[in-house]
Amino acid sequence: RSKELGRDTFCFFEEKMNRAATERHALEVQLRQALERGEFQLHYQPKANIRTGQVIGVEALLRWKPAGQALVAPDRFIAILEETGLIVPVGAWVFREACGQMMKWQRAGMRPLQVAVNVSARQFRHPELVQQIAGVLRETGLAPQLLEVELTESMLIDDSEVVSRTMAELGRMGVGIAIDDFGTGQSSLRYLKRFNVDTLKIDRSFVKDTPNDSEDSAIAKAVIALGHGLGMKVVAEGVETQAQLDFLHAHGCDELQGYLLSRPVVAQAFAAWFRLQDVPASPAAN
């Protein structure tokens, strides 16, 4: 009896595993064609100065829209792009699209905004990343100072030759470097000293329960102090409430990003939002 039960259980798991593998394979097949089919799009989420409220720039966030299906969020497909190596061409597309969009906006008369682009581990270790970025900046004409790459801590703990070279070359080019989700990786603080990091982004998980949770509040304050002590800018991600904003403002955090300001939206929606909220200096002042 127990033998039978064992077999059933086994079959059940095997079936589940097969289904997961089939699903994953189907996703992979679809993703391989997604780029040439033009199914990727970028959403833009603003970042603003906490003290003045002025929008400083945007983060570009990747979305996938397979034909006839709903929009797919990155947690569903970034890992597959990484594992298959597809992240390299898709990442190149993200840089081109994001920088190109910034220049379209500038040509349309929008004041120049910064753009932050997420880079994943495999992409970051790719020896041609710097060349790829340099090429995109040349082709689009975007000032390197307006581009920031967002990396995670785990990419920097290994100080391989290619990582140090990439960091140094990006710095020389004038491209900014931000550490995303700061405090959640396997971090050693040594890399903050070793590399030219410009920005720390406090992970959303630490922002979420401020100011009520005393541990999270202590961590957020410590990250702000650490960043400032090292001459870096500190950005809070995932800011959803006025209470969180007030807390971060009181503790000297530089920039905020989160639903309180805006969700990530398509380019056109961002431009419309920006036009409405970016009030020019009052005419009386001229």
Return residues touching Mg ion (CB under 5 A): 118, 150, 180-181, 203-204, 237
d(CA 263, CA 210): 20
Task: Work out whether 86 is an interface residue with ligand C2E (CB under 6 A).
Answer: no
By beta-carbon proximity to ligand C2E, the closer residue of 90 and 283 is: 90
Contacting ligand C2E within 102-131 (CB under 6 A): 118-120
Measuring CA to CA, which residue among 138, 141, 144, 139 is closest to residue 117?
A: 144
Q: Which residues, other chains included, contact 154 with Cβ-Cβ below 8 Å and sequence gap of 6+?
A: 121, 185, 186, 187
Residue 156 neighbours by CB distance under 10 Å: 23
In the numeric block, which tokens belong to residue 208? 């979420």
Binding site partner of 278, from Mg ion, ligand C2E, none, Cβ cut-off 5-8 A by kind:
none
The answer to whether the CB of 211 falls within 8 A of the CB of 247 is yes
Binding site partner of 259, from Mg ion, ligand C2E, none, Cβ cut-off 5-8 A by kind:
ligand C2E
By beta-carbon proximity to Mg ion, the closer residue of 30 and 179 is: 179
Task: Work out whether 153 is an interface residue with ligand C2E (CB under 6 A).
Answer: no
CA–CA distances in Å: residue 93 to residues 34, 89, 165, 243: 12, 6, 23, 38
HEC assignment per residue over 38-55: CCEEEEEEEEEECCCCCE
The strand pair at 40-49 and 176-182 is best described as unpaired
Binding site partner of 151, from Mg ion, ligand C2E, none, Cβ cut-off 5-8 A by kind:
none
Task: Work out whether 72 is an interface residue with ligand C2E (CB under 6 A).
Answer: no
Task: Work out whether 94 is an interface residue with ligand C2E (CB under 6 A).
Answer: yes
Contacting ligand C2E within 178-207 (CB under 6 A): 180-181, 204
Binding site partner of 31, from Mg ion, ligand C2E, none, Cβ cut-off 5-8 A by kind:
none
Which residues contribute to the site for ligand C2E (CB under 6 A)?
45, 61-62, 73-75, 78, 94, 118-120, 150, 180-181, 204, 237-240, 258-259, 264
